[in-house]
Structure 1
Amino acid sequence: MAINGVSPYNSKFRLSGLATGLDTDQMVADLMKVERVPLDKLLQKRQLAEWKRDSYREVTNLLRGLKDEYFSNLKMSANMLSKSMYKKFSVNSVNSATGTASAVVSATAGTEAVLGSHTITVNQLATAAYTESDTSTSGVTADLRARNLTGSSSAVLKYDAAKTFDVSVDGVTDTITLTGTYSDADALAKAIETQLVNLNGKVALSQSGGLIEFTLMGETNKVIQLNEGTGALADLKFSNGQSNQVTQFDFTAGGIGSKDFQITLDGVTKTVTLNGNYGNMAGLVTGLQSAIDTAFGVDPNNVAATRRIVVSQMAGADILKFDTANGASKMTLSSGLTSNALPFLKFNPGESNRLNSAETLRDLRGSFGNVLTFNASNQVTFTINSKQFAFDSNTTLSSMMNQINSDPDAGITIQYDDVSDQFKITSDQLGEGSNLSIVNGDGNFFAVGGASKIDTNSMKIVKGSGPLAAADLNVNTMKFKVTIDGVEKEFTFGSNYATAGNLASAMQNLINADVGSGGFGAGTVSVSALNGVLKIRLNNGSNMTLSSGSANDALGNLKFVSGDTTTGQGHNGRNAKVILDGQSLVRSSNSFTANGVTYTLLGTSSSEQKITLTNDVNAVFDNIKGFIDKYNEVISKINGELSEEHNRDYQPLTEEQKASMKEEDIERWEEKAKSGLLRGDSLLQGIVYKMRSVMFDGISGVNASLSSIGISTGSYEDKGKLIINESKLRNAIQNDPDAVMNLFAKESSIRSNLNITQDQRSTRYKEEGLAFRLFDVVEDNIRTFRDSNGHKGTLLEKAGMTGDASEFDNAMYDQIDDYDERISALSMKLIDKENKYYIKFASLEKMISQMNAQSNWMSSQLGSGS
């Protein structure tokens, strides 16, 4: 049985009128029309209740729109409850010396700020404690050299009989025996490496996709060679005598001729094509250099200054080396597009002069300048800021760094910079309290002379402010002073230097030299020059300070300043130092608030910066106007519901009526039938009354009113809509923003809560500003939380809200549910009534049929008697 339709009541298939010739169905339908009238009226009442419920929900959505737009913490810039909305400042930061926009400081103003100007001089920014690798981590900042041997295909894992082969590095040999079955290529690689006794720490074994790989570890120019023993080398898919040296065959057209490979240099990939028979190693180097120059381009008039990759031969061996130059940094090799030349050059696809953080620590160990080592459990352990870490050799470098970075107890960020080839560690906090503590455990990741080239002594450094230029290297006879743990010495350079590295070596020798009583001694400091920037590390001692020479000071050339120092923790965090309105301030952050103004420090300058605060009248005015417009919209629509006439001539259509009408006619009819359903509704009248009264009742302790700031009610016909005098409102915002703020956003001593008493509600109403009062009215009607009596907002209790539990738990729902029960019961009665009519007509059919049968019999008898 359908709720919105009751015809047909009984869907049984019937054959009627066979004897009588009567249209029984039509006769029953006509009889049921009168019987169906009470049901049609119930269905109409139910439909009216649904429409009325929907009208209430439209009002609920109106109030929700007002709340979401002007009372939401998600839109603080428009939130009428927030004091910051009424005191918006236009803040201008300029350099007093130049009159241009400040690049040193920016500022924003809060509600506690006052109109006017402030001056600030930024002498020092707050910094976080940090440290970094003293030199290149991989040990090959510039160059990429052939040092890997890789099998041609997947290695055999099962050896029924023992087989051998030899591994040699510059004449030092280990014989490897393979026997039994290995679970996988990784197990096979580990089994080979455990047999490297003479070459322990010099050669690393790994596998990729089942291919076994031998790698010379550390920064080396040595030759690695594999020689067959009793067949194991062939099973590993290496050729007898395979090495990292280019062979005579490789020089020929049959070897390297007409082949190519790719180089990616700092993100730019080029294809390098080789042609011809190069004859020997020197010819190959020359040919390679020419092909690379063609691919990347050089200035023929200034080759030395524009060539970014330099090809050379390692000293004493036929081993190729690629060096980056002239600002280039990261270089990676990959296979050619046609016929791959890399195997003939003794390089593997993917080889790079930088660490690959996606590889495991085990596979990377030989890529560090100082070979990475592990403990007996194949782990590296260390402690950062009292937080202990342990990582298995199968952990990738990126996973290790991510785990450290996500640990709040460590409170640091570690990253590998593949431009400078350095690890960098930075405290997550700024200021002098952000010092770092790093203690190595097992393995050598953070050990002195370890893999990362960061250790405890790395924290005790002084670093130059920038790279040395050619002119800076002219330091002959220049002087500088070093003080270590209270002992001061002055040093004099004895010559000029060709490179920053040469100068660094000379400086280290000067400081470490034993100069007699009170001398520092050998090994006291290490001086390096990475990318032209000098760095002095204190190895022996607690504190070191640099100061100007007594004459002909060298510190300027060296990019140091007098007073540069370590405190035993190296790159300590520093506090920001500023002079604000004539007062010296020290802050641990580059963002701080003073007198309602939040300053963000961007740089330092000896020039004074001027911060000027003016009222942003337009922003405040636009928001108040938008709020009033929204208020008027809500008031107008609710008043429209209250005053709309209900045309009783248009009742909800029955299913029978709809069946004879067009769709557009039905829509027009129902639009009129829905009108005026909330006319004079007491619930809506109460909402409008409260919305109007809260805007004009006085506020305790506030002298301002809507009329005093230029907002008033319209005529009687406007029914409570507010009208804005724009010039008067702008004037109030400009000249008395606090009065405007308190009028709308003054907070009561009574906080809003679900269990507030009537007396507390009365006190809150008297004390709070207009926006809070209106917010309370809105919440009282659309609140989704239940109070101590178990009630939600009044509108939700009445008609519910879609998506909330009240959708199926409200007064209108109960009313509609009651109609449904009554409709169901009445429908069953009508079905019974319809069945009874059909039974009566069936009886008539039966009687007529019997009479017809008798008549036919009598006729047949009379006919036969004649």
Structure 2
Amino acid sequence: MTLDGIKKTLTFSEKTYLSSQDVVNELNSLLSASFGAGRVDLSLNNDSVTLSSKNSILSISLTETAENNPTGILDFGGYATNRLDLVSALASSGFSSSPASDPDTGIAFKINGVSFSFSSDDSVSKIMNGINSSSAGIKVSYSQLEDKFTLVSDDTGVASSVSFEDTAGSLMNSMFGTGVLKSGTDAVIKLNMYGSSEPSDQITVTRSTNAFDLNGSTVKLLGKAAGDTAENISIGLNYDVDSIADKISSFISDYNELLGSLTTLTSEKVYKDYDPLTDDEKEKLSENEIKTWTEQAKSGTLRNDTYLTSIETDLRSSIYSTISGLGSLSSIGITTGLYSEKGKLYIDKDKLRAALSKDAEGTLEMFTKESDISYSLYSTPEQQETRFNENGVLSRISDIIKKNLSNVGKKGALITLVGSPDSSYNAETEYSKRINALDTKIDFMEEKLTSEEDRYWRQFTTMESATAKMNSQSSYITQLFSSNKN
């Protein structure tokens, strides 16, 4: 027998039991010795023994090694429990009477107007899952501790409701019987804002849920005052230091990744012996050889690029420079590494958390503060300097992005140089102008080459003609001398 998870083996004495009362007395002694007096209620009614245990989970079963089967005396079929079996068919689930009026037709019912039908072979668990996944807008659950079912509406507040009825069989009656139906109510909260005790400053808030927004913060009601007496509750808000520290760490990680990508491009080695391959050269190499060669040829293309190095410098300055009225990031544990690491940032998490615990708002302002001077690509140098000094880190980096990538109004530096990935190629960018100039120069050089080739061909033809003429004259003179000798 198992009571609330504690399993005990009950062994009847080897003797002859002359009456049902003898069995009850023996079993009472065994139960008291195993679980304590009064833990299990044992009663005898017309030679039927009933075991029950209020608010406890009780089950009885045969041991695998039992030589003498007691089911002849305790007619329980080898296993019995005072709780429902949610995975067996309805007929054997443990209801006091079968919920199915006709095994052939099964059961049917409605909840909030939604119809359900199940076979008598279906389990309670399957029926509950069907209800919970339906559009009835309710959730049904079973408490093994209390041995009862509960229906709860998905809606909250005074407008919520639950209705159910059996249309075939009696499952709803078996599950809920004449249980108490509690209507939903709205949550009513009286707030005295800003610590005022004046009745005129009191605000009554009515909500259909136990969670509501209060000036940007979510308040969740977990209970109510005892009785009808109002209970004063003070609400204070604190920053989640660990969560903020994690977000700052994530930002620093992203910053390091961005800066690392830029420094890699601007410091790549140039391989002067690796010129771009011609088509003829590619035909003589394998794909891997072509790939390796091309990577070497492209390496260093952006080495010391003016635009990218300027962005690097601006990013580093956005971190290093003091923020007016707040100080520098080093004061909250964010510092740079070695010079060779080219501006990589490190975080002293203990120092950062200490700063957040002491002054979370001031610490966050180092990142979120924004100058009263609006950003503009047309700002004067003095305005730009003032805005930079007053801005927090995030606003500074935002300005750097706008300065280089703005595609509205005055174009950013990189947009002016190479254009935007989401715009079609045009001849207005600086690089496209350079490419067009090179194309024009190539066309000119090709024309000049063709002209030079034509000139050399003309000279060659003239020289060849003169050579042929001279050879002819030489042959004539030779023949002439030969004739005179004869």
TM-score, with structure 2 as normaliser: 0.57
Instruction: Report 1:241-390 matches (<5 A).
Output: 263-281=1-19, 282-294=21-33, 296-298=34-36, 306-315=37-46, 317=47, 319-324=48-53, 327-345=55-73, 346-364=75-93, 367-375=94-102, 377-390=104-117
Does the 8 A contact of 2:266 with 2:308 survive in 1?
Answer: no
Does the 8 A contact of 2:105 with 2:119 survive in 1?
Answer: yes
Does the 8 A contact of 1:641 with 1:676 survive in 2?
Answer: no
Are positions 1:428 and 2:154 aligned together? yes
Instruction: Report 1:595-744 matches (<5 A).
Output: 595-605=215-225, 606-613=230-237, 624=248, 627-628=251-252, 631-632=255-256, 634-635=258-259, 638-639=262-263, 642-643=266-267, 645=269, 678-679=299-300, 681=302, 686-690=307-311, 692-693=313-314, 707-708=323-324, 709-710=326-327, 721=343, 734-735=361-362, 740-741=367-368, 743=370
1:335 Cα offset (Å): 3.6
Instruction: Report the 3-state secondary structure (helix = DSSP H, G, I; strand = E; otherwise coil) of the residue aligned with 1:639.
Output: helix
1:332 Cα offset (Å): 3.5
Instruction: Report the 3-state secondary structure (helix = DSSP H, G, I; strand = E; otherwise coil) of the residue aligned with 1:635.
Output: helix
Aligned residues: 344
Does the 8 A contact of 2:271 with 2:300 survive in 1?
Answer: no
Cross-structure match for 2:177:
454
CA distance in 2 between counterparts of 1:434 and 1:737 reads 43
CA 1:743–1:432 in structure 2 vs 1: closer, same or farther (change >3 Å)? Answer: same
CA distance in 1 between counterparts of 2:239 and 2:151 reads 44
1:377 Cα offset (Å): 4.7
CA 1:622–1:774 in structure 2 vs 1: closer, same or farther (change >3 Å)? Answer: farther
CA 1:275–1:607 in structure 2 vs 1: closer, same or farther (change >3 Å)? Answer: same
Amino acid at match of 1:451: S
Instruction: Report 1:104-503 matches (<5 A).
Output: 263-281=1-19, 282-294=21-33, 296-298=34-36, 306-315=37-46, 317=47, 319-324=48-53, 327-345=55-73, 346-364=75-93, 367-375=94-102, 377-407=104-134, 409-446=135-172, 450-454=173-177, 458=179, 461=180
CA 1:291–1:603 in structure 2 vs 1: closer, same or farther (change >3 Å)? Answer: same
CA distance in 2 between counterparts of 1:775 and 1:424 reads 57
CA distance in 1 between counterparts of 2:359 and 2:343 reads 21
Instruction: Report the 3-state secondary structure (helix = DSSP H, G, I; strand = E; otherwise coil) of the residue aligned with 2:81.
Output: coil
CA distance in 2 between counterparts of 1:266 and 1:363 reads 22
Does the 8 A contact of 2:270 with 2:301 survive in 1?
Answer: no
1:684 Cα offset (Å): 7.0
Does the 8 A contact of 1:691 with 1:774 survive in 2?
Answer: no
Q: Can you list the C-alpha shifts for 1:761-812, whole angstroms capped at 9, x where unaligned?
A: xxxxxxx94455678889x99xxxx84659xxxxxxxxxxxxxxxxxxxxxx
Q: CA RMSD in A?
A: 4.8
Amino acid at match of 1:415: S
Instruction: Report the 3-state secondary structure (helix = DSSP H, G, I; strand = E; otherwise coil) of the residue aligned with 2:218.
Output: strand
Structure with greater contact order relative to length (CA < 8 Å, sep ≥ 6): 1
Cross-structure match for 2:212:
592
Instruction: Report the 3-state secondary structure (helix = DSSP H, G, I; strand = E; otherwise coil) of the residue aligned with 1:599.
Output: strand
CA distance in 1 between counterparts of 2:343 and 2:65 reads 76
1:321 Cα offset (Å): 2.5
CA distance in 2 between counterparts of 1:695 and 1:588 reads 51
Does the 8 A contact of 2:367 with 2:395 survive in 1?
Answer: no
CA 1:427–1:733 in structure 2 vs 1: closer, same or farther (change >3 Å)? Answer: closer
Amino acid at match of 1:322: L
Instruction: Report the 3-state secondary structure (helix = DSSP H, G, I; strand = E; otherwise coil) of the residue aligned with 2:159.
Output: coil
Amino acid at match of 1:588: S
Point out the structure with the larger strand share.
Answer: 1
1:597 Cα offset (Å): 1.8
Q: Can you list the C-alpha shifts for 1:733-779, whole angstroms capped at 9, x where unaligned?
A: 745966852549x999xxxxxxxxxxxxxxxxxxx94455678889x
CA 1:429–1:718 in structure 2 vs 1: closer, same or farther (change >3 Å)? Answer: same
Q: Can you list the C-alpha shifts for 1:696-726, whole angstroms capped at 9, x where unaligned?
A: 79xxxxxxx9743545999xx89984999x9
Question: What percentage of residue pairs aligned between the two structures are identical?
Answer: 23
CA 1:283–1:628 in structure 2 vs 1: closer, same or farther (change >3 Å)? Answer: closer
Point out the structure with the larger helix share.
Answer: 2
Amino acid at match of 1:603: G
Match of 2:191 among 566, 570, 580: 580
Instruction: Report 1:19-168 matches (<5 A).
Output: none
Amino acid at match of 2:184: G
Does the 8 A contact of 1:642 with 1:676 survive in 2?
Answer: no
Q: Can you list the C-alpha shifts for 1:67-120, whole angstroms capped at 9, x where unaligned?
A: xxxxxxxxxxxxxxxxxxxxxxxxxxxxxxxxxxxxxxxxxxxxxxxxxxxxxx
TM-score, with structure 1 as normaliser: 0.34
Does the 8 A contact of 1:379 with 1:391 survive in 2?
Answer: yes
1:571 Cα offset (Å): 0.4
1:602 Cα offset (Å): 1.7
CA distance in 2 between counterparts of 1:324 and 1:775 reads 72
CA distance in 2 between counterparts of 1:693 and 1:769 reads 12
Instruction: Report 1:753-768 matches (<5 A).
Output: none
Does the 8 A contact of 1:694 with 1:773 survive in 2?
Answer: no
1:333 Cα offset (Å): 2.7
Amino acid at match of 1:436: V
Can you give the 5+ residue segments of structure 2 that lack an aligned partner in the other structure? 193-201, 275-294, 330-334, 376-393, 408-413, 415-420, 426-486
CA 1:694–1:428 in structure 2 vs 1: closer, same or farther (change >3 Å)? Answer: same
1:637 Cα offset (Å): 6.3
1:270 Cα offset (Å): 1.1
CA 1:643–1:312 in structure 2 vs 1: closer, same or farther (change >3 Å)? Answer: closer
Q: Can you list the C-alpha shifts for 1:684-704, whole angstroms capped at 9, x where unaligned?
A: 76545445557879xxxxxxx
CA distance in 1 between counterparts of 2:399 and 2:124 reads 59
1:273 Cα offset (Å): 0.9
